[in-house]
Structure 1
Amino acid sequence: MNFHLFQIINGAAGAHDPVDDLLEWAAIWLIFVMAALTLVPGRTVLRVGGWTVLARVGLALLLAVGIGQAVGHLNHEPRPFQAHEVHQLIPHANDVSMPSDHATAAFALAFAVTMFLSRRWGAVLTFLALAVGFARVWTGVHYPGDILAGALIGAAAVAIVLVGERLLSRRSAPAKATPTSGINR
């Protein structure tokens, strides 16, 4: 199924040069545009002293990239162009395919912005993350499953930051007074 879906997407590559050029650009550079766009809703947050919000986004991104690297070291799946005849439109190292680092970072940014900054802006970034993932498959350097793994890792990293934040806030919250047996001391 993973390879079949890859063939459907990558099979269309090479037919229309302007489409290929756009998707080659997206496969390489759109992640950097997304990082810059993350700061757009963050500007408003910074004006009111919300450095911690951007720190959460950054932490989720770093955590996702770290998890992605760990998964990559455990995985030995070759890239599509190493195992099959494909339309490879961009150069890439002959390392493991899963997960896609670009997709991991893109989805981590999108989901973190959704949870910590702005749902509307997060939806825009999620659309762009999908475009990054699609472009990585179109250009022949990843399977669709690699993109899905990146999205799941990004979501997991954001969830870990959320859970960690809630645990820390519970620990630092003042203890609630408990009712005594009615005896004044």
Structure 2
Amino acid sequence: MNFSEVNIGLFRLVNDLGKEHEQLNIIFTFLAEYMVFLLAISVICIWFTRNKESRIMIFCATITFTCAFILGKVSGVFHSNYQPFVELSDVNKLIVKEKDNSFPSDHTILFFSYCFSFWLFKRGWWIFWILLALLVGISRIWVGVHYPFDVIAGMILSFAVAINVYIIVPRLNGTKKILNVYEKYEGKLFQPFRKTKGSKTRNY
């Protein structure tokens, strides 16, 4: 059994579950399509806790995603395949997706870049995010838009970049300088709101 046969076999194993358990399709469709918004909201909320360590974590996670995404696009030049719903028959396709190169999975790179970073920094509910990222990766197979190896490649890329970023970036002087400059201007931006709030409090 060659690489392609294994890839297709694993895809069928997961994707056919949607035909057998149709009641779960709405859950996996939500995970595949909309969980990215929960991630975005969570990242913004963590950032605005104004905790220094949390901001370094988000900063590193964003660098991880950017680098892994670029590496993913480069790897897609050397290996490419269309989505399963394009190449295979009788695919349980649950979401709208245009035909393009699906290797590696961008959704997987996005989620695992942040979730691996959460895990490395061990901040908050990191185990929840790792499990959620796994479910998102599986959901992309379930809804018919990615092969398992598209997802696995995204995971490997994200993990490799996350480890290197975690080791290097927090130790760079430039990291703290960038955050300090940002926080300086953030303070100036929100200062009028704080003064207004303070004035209202004193009036009471």
Return the TM-score normalized by structure 2.
Answer: 0.73
SS at match of 1:77: coil
Instruction: Decide whether the 8 Å contact of 2:57 with 2:118 is kept in 1.
Output: no
**Pairwise CA RMSD of aligned residues?**
2.2
Q: What is residue 105 of structure 1 aligned with on the other side?
A: 110
- Mark the runs of 5 or more structure 2 residues left unpaired by the alignment: 1-5, 174-204
Give aligned-pair identity as a percent. 27
Instruction: Decide whether the 8 Å contact of 1:41 with 1:117 is kept in 2.
Output: no
Return the TM-score normalized by structure 1.
Answer: 0.79
SS at match of 1:14: helix
Residues 49 and 19 of structure 1: is their aligned pair in 2 closer, same or farther, counting only changes over 3 Å? closer
Q: Please tell me whether residue 74 in structure 1 is matched to residue 78 in structure 2.
A: yes
The one-letter code of the counterpart of 2:158 is G
Instruction: Decide whether the 8 Å contact of 1:9 with 1:137 is kept in 2.
Output: yes
Q: Please tell me whether residue 151 in structure 1 is matched to residue 155 in structure 2.
A: yes
Q: What is residue 13 of structure 2 aligned with on the other side?
A: 8
Residue correspondence of structure 1 range 57-96 to structure 2 within 5 A: 57-85=61-89, 86-96=91-101
1:70-98 CA-partner distances (Å, limit 9, x unpaired)? 22233222211111111111121111121
Instruction: Decide whether the 8 Å contact of 1:65 with 1:101 is kept in 2.
Output: yes
Q: Please tell me whether residue 22 in structure 1 is matched to residue 46 in structure 2.
A: no
Q: Please tell me whether residue 55 in structure 1 is matched to residue 59 in structure 2.
A: yes
Task: Give the Cα–Cα distance (whole angstroms) in 2 for the partners of residues 50 and 80 of structure 1.
Answer: 38
After TM superposition, what 4+ stretches of structure 1 lie above 3 angstroms from structure 2? 14-18, 38-44, 47-53, 166-169
1:3-46 CA-partner distances (Å, limit 9, x unpaired)? 111111111213444311111111111122123234555555x2
Residues 162 and 72 of structure 1: is their aligned pair in 2 closer, same or farther, counting only changes over 3 Å? same
The one-letter code of the counterpart of 2:62 is G
Instruction: Decide whether the 8 Å contact of 1:61 with 1:109 is kept in 2.
Output: yes
Task: Give the Cα–Cα distance (whole angstroms) in 2 for the partners of residues 51 and 97 of structure 1.
Answer: 32
The one-letter code of the counterpart of 2:72 is G
Instruction: Decide whether the 8 Å contact of 1:57 with 1:112 is kept in 2.
Output: yes
The one-letter code of the counterpart of 1:65 is F
Task: Give the Cα–Cα distance (whole angstroms) in 1 for the partners of residues 115 and 127 of structure 2.
Answer: 7
- Mark the runs of 5 or more structure 1 residues left unpaired by the alignment: 170-185
